Amino acid sequence: MIADIGFYIVAFAMLVSAIWAVTAKNILHSALALIGSFFGTAILYLMLSAEFIAVAQVLVYIGGVVIFVIFIILLTSRLGDKAEIAPAMRKILAFALCSAMLGTFLHALDRAGYLVNTKTATAASDFASMRNIGLRFLDPGANGFLVPFEIISLLLLITVIGAIVIARKEGE
């Protein structure tokens, strides 16, 4: 019961900050609202007792992505810059695209039977512990994710090399 109330409070806060992120006039306020939204997601993971994923959410999204977004805002804009207002046509287009995406997601969830989920499930308390996640990642068997894990590391390597190529000055 208390967990349910907690879920709705967190979900409401996430929604409010997500809406604030897209409607704020000040671009840095948007970034800040995004942090609130990400933090709400981390709390939801905690409520699902997936502690490692919650920590990873904070580490990657708040500590990594948002910090870099703020860094770029700091480099490119100054306090007192006027906010760019998007033309009406672009707004309508964006709204249509987002609605289509939401519809697709809802439809897919509905087909899979997850939209209204009445089932409750309890997992072992350490199912998402760091040890278990690590073992599953490096397990070459049918239960493991060794190949996707290695492909992700390859992707990261390509990204790093790409960043170096872009950052390198001509003629060096």
CA distances from 5 to 18, 46, 76, 90, 123 (A): 20, 15, 41, 38, 22
Q: Which of 1, 4, 5, 80 binds another protein (CB under 8 A)?
A: 80
Contact set for another protein, span 124-143 (CB under 8 A):
129-130
Residue 20 exposed, middle or buried by CB count within 10 Å (0-12, 13-18, 19+) = middle
67 is a contact residue toward another protein (CB under 8 A): yes
When the beta carbons of 116 and 164 are compared against another protein, the nearer one is 164
Q: Measured from the CB of residue 32, what is the shortest distance to another protein in angstroms?
A: 7
* Length of the chain, in residues: 172
Q: Which of 16, 20, 55, 144 binds another protein (CB under 8 A)?
A: 55
Q: How many Å is the Cα radius of gyration of the chain?
A: 20
Q: Which of 73, 136, 137, 145 binds another protein (CB under 8 A)?
A: 73
171: left (phi over 0), alpha (psi -120 to 50) or beta: left
Q: Where along the sequence are the contacts to another protein (CB under 8 A)?
A: 26, 28-29, 32, 35, 51-52, 55-56, 58-59, 62-64, 66-67, 70-71, 73-75, 78-80, 129-130
